[in-house]
Amino acid sequence: MTAELALLGRAPAVDNARHVRWPVLDDSDRQAVLTVLDRGVLSGPFAPEVRAFEREFASYIGTRHALATNSGTAALHMALAAVGVGPGDEVITSAYSFVATAQAVLHQQAIPVFVDIEPHTCGIDPALIERAITQKTKALLPVHIHGMPCDLDEVMAIGKKHGIPVVEDACQAHGAMYRGRRAGSIGDAAAFSLQSSKNLPCGEGGVFVTNDTAMLDRANSLRMFGENVRQMEDVPWDPQRPLDASRAYDSVHVGWMYRTNEMSAALARSQLRKLEAANAQARQNAQRLSAALSTLPGITPPSEPADRTGTIHKYRVTFDASAMGVSAPPKTVRAALIKALRAEGLEVVMWQSQPVPGQTLFRDKTGYGSGVPWSVWNVESPVRYDLDQFPQTTRLLDSSLVLFSQSCPIFPQPTELIDAYAEAFARVWRHLPQVVAAASAQS
Ligand SMILES: Cc1ncc(COP(=O)(O)O)c(C=O)c1O
């Protein structure tokens, strides 16, 4: 192999310093936060930025209600509690997600039951849900992973048939469309994350959404110490006494402190105005890169069913060693590609590398420490987390990579960088057997 690869001394195909770091913050964001500082109101249940953001976000998503929270996990937890999930109940969710999805279930001392994915959207496979339903199933929790809506109509139909509410984990799916409606507006409730890597970032934050007013009232109370918060009442808000709204200080059940603050809400409002542009650029970049990568043997870019539009929150490519003309286990090929592509200056990450139930928390059922909630609530027919139940998730994660990273995701990158990624792939693909052989020899 002559020095045709950066791995062997050639100049990298991509100048890594040219990546645009996310989030992109401009004067309008600065001004939004400064306005809060000038006003001098940093928080409060009825503070103006939070309430304005909730109205604007609900209107954008197409739900009647939204409640801003201090994380996506908080919004998920509130949603599960609001639909009636409690200790010992079971919640069916996808084996491929960020751990927060299942952690939110555990926060209610409920039992996560994982179902494998289908390969087109990488979302929960609806064909496998019904056999996971038991008397204890109290919610379905599908995830729009990478911002691609899962097969939601099928999930909703199962929920309806069995009288089980559906909570959408839309933490990666701000603005994604499913059959003409926005992800997050279809289930009984949904949760979004506003953490810094998301297409709609504000640092840390989240949003709970629902169309159901009773659900809103429950979630609103859960967000604030279990107090009887009547947000829908038009409480007069006095900017001179922002922390002294009428409040009974009488918790009626367990709740949490999941409220957010004015600076985060102001930044979220400002970023919401730019979300459509960010999503459009993500799609344009993804389409351009996918067109180029599709010409290489053995590589499959993310797919997008015709009836939905994803946010490309993560751009995951799958590879097939035999179609690539190499003979090595998927994980070896994956390691070889990571090394060669990083040497070419690309941002390449694995993000998740195993199904969620493979994490120690589930494998050892450590839970709250002494095995709770399983040791208390799931003794008679213990839920199994063995990975043999999740072949599609395992196959996907063993044989794929996420291009770009949390710090430098696909959405803000310039076209030239996308083209340089395609060139780097072409280079590596011209030398695949050697790239993989070198990695195999080292492992
Ligand atoms: C699919 C999914 N669910 C839940 C979460 C939790 O959101 P947060 O980090 O804001 O709590 C995330 C965020 O990383 C996520 O990607």
CATH (domain of 17)? 3.90.1150.10
pLDDT at residue 1, as a whole number: 47
Query: Do 253 and 307 lie in a common domain?
Result: no
- The Cα 189–Cα 78 span in angstroms is 10
The pick from 195, 198, 312 for probing ligand 1's pocket by mutation, whose C-beta has the most ligand atoms within 8 angstroms, reads: 195
The pLDDT value given to residue 229? 83
Task: Please give all residues whose beta carbon lies within 6 A of any atom in ligand 1, as ranges.
Answer: 71-73, 97-98, 100-101, 143, 169, 171-172, 193, 195, 206
Pair (241, 291) in one structural domain: no
Residues 296 and 328 in one domain: yes
Distance from the alpha carbon of residue 174 to the mean position of ligand 1, in angstroms: 12
Confidence class of residue 232 from pLDDT cuts 50, 70 and 90? very low
The more confidently predicted of residues 140 and 45 is: 140
Tokens standing for residue 273: 């105005």
Q: What is d(CA 411, CA 20) in angstroms, rounded to the nearest whole number?
A: 9
Distance CA 234, CA 230 (A): 9
376 belongs to a structural domain? no
Residue 95 scores a pLDDT above 50: yes
Residues 63 and 115 in one domain: yes
Of residues 44 and 78, more confidently modeled: 78
| Confidence tier at 173 by pLDDT (50, 70, 90) | very high
Q: 332 with 436: CB under 8 angstroms?
A: yes
Mean pLDDT of 200-215: 97
Q: Probe ligand 1: pick from 171, 258, 264, 349, max atoms within 8 Å of CB?
A: 171
Give yes or no: residues 246 and 337 share one domain.
Answer: no
Query: 195 forms bridges with which residues in the sheet?
Result: 203
265 and 284 share one domain: no
Three-class SS of residue 112? strand
**Do 212 and 283 reside in the same domain of the chain?**
no
365 as an active site residue: the answer is no
Q: Where are the alpha helices (DSSP H) in 40-136?
A: 48-61, 72-82, 100-107
Compute, in angstroms, the gap from residue 98 CA to the centroid of ligand 1. Answer: 6
Q: Has residue 371 been placed in a domain?
A: no
Q: Which of 138, 161, 198, 339 is catalytic?
A: 198
Last residue of a domain, one of 213, 248, 273: 273
Residues across the chain: 443
Report the nearest atom of ligand 1 relative to the CA of 73: 11
Q: Identify the band that residue 233 occupies on the pLDDT scale cut at 50, 70 and 90.
A: low
Instruction: Over range 389-412, report the average pLDDT.
Output: 98
- Give the model confidence (pLDDT) of 244-295 as tens digits: 777 778 899 999 999 999 999 999 999 999 999 999 999 999 999 999 999 9
Q: Domain for residue 297, yes or no?
A: yes
Q: pLDDT at position 234, please?
A: 56
Q: Domain total for the chain?
A: 2
Supply the pLDDT for residue 45: 72
215 and 72 in a single domain? The answer is yes
Q: Which domain holds residue 222?
A: 27-273
The tokens describing 19, both together, are: 């990546």
User: Is residue 386 domain-resident?
Assistant: no
Residue 249: the pLDDT is 85
Q: Which of 103, 172, 197 to mutate to test the pocket of ligand 1 (most atoms within 8 A of CB)?
A: 172
**CA-CA distance, 49 to 56, in Å (whole number)?**
10
Structural Rg of the chain based on CA atoms: 23
- Residue 336 belongs to a domain: yes
Residue at a domain's end among 245, 273, 301: 273
Average pLDDT, integer, range 205-209: 98
Which atom, in ligand 1's list, is nearest to the CA of 172? 16
The answer to whether residues 69 and 190 touch, using CB atoms and an 8 Å cutoff, is no
Diameter of the chain by CA atoms?
76
Calculate how far, in angstroms, residue 375's C-alpha sits from the geometric centre of ligand 1. Answer: 27
- Please tell me the distance between residue 251's alpha carbon and the centre of ligand 1 in angstroms: 28
- Is 280 a domain residue? yes
| pLDDT of the residue at 391 | 98
Query: Are 149 and 97 within one domain?
Result: yes
CATH number of the domain within which 125 lies: 3.40.640.10
